[in-house]
Amino acid sequence: MAVKIRLQRHGKKNFAFFHIVVADSRSPRDGRYIEQLGSYNPNTNPATIVLNSERALRWLEVGAQPTLVTRRILSYEGVLLRHHLNGGVAKNALTQEQADARWNEWKAQRDAKIEAKKSGIRNSAIEAAKAAKAAEAKVNAERAEAIAKKAQELAAAEEAAKVEAQQAEETAVETAEEETPVEEAPVAEAPAAETQAEA
């Protein structure tokens, strides 16, 4: 029986995550498996990998063959390096202490790279938020300036309308004064008639 370490797809469309399983190569992709070793979620940045490294190493030692993607995952987690170092110890090419020292050194470097990537993502997100805030402030300032300019134009238009209305009223009063006749003659005759009646 050919045993493979492979991925089993779960999750919804366009948002898949995977279980890392040991299964018979003849069984369906999402079908029956022998043992589940962990999970792999590529939707996060960096990808989230949960893996039982000891069991994965044990399956590699008994001859399980990883698929291409699971080989990369096992390499990323250091399982393949550990398997390689254990082979060197079995051949007496190096001691167990030397193998442990090499693996710990590699793991420290890998953890530092992951932490640098996380901090870089965090810093870029902060910079993007600052840039978005500055762009929004600029747009708000331009909008406030446009509103103030429009208010000034409206105020100037209202002032001009008031001036025109006052001028129109003044001209209307002047024309009314010019057109109305002065009726002083009957007023002057009435006292003369009264004086004649008294005489």
Q: Which helix (H) or strand (E) holds 4?
A: strand 3-12
pLDDT value of residue 16: 93
| 178-197 residue pLDDT tens | 766 555 555 555 555 555 55
Q: Give the global pTM.
A: 0.63
- From residue 83, give the alpha-carbon distance in Å to each of 43, 53, 72, 103: 28, 11, 14, 10
**Given pLDDT bands bounded at 50, 70 and 90, which one contains residue 199?**
low
Beta pairing class for 48-51 and 65-66: unpaired
Give the pLDDT score at 162: 87
Among the listed residues 63, 104, 65, the one whose alpha carbon sits nearest the alpha carbon of residue 82: 104
d(CA 34, CA 37): 10
Locus of tokens 């001009």: 160
Distance CA 63, CA 80 (A): 13
Amino acid at 128: A
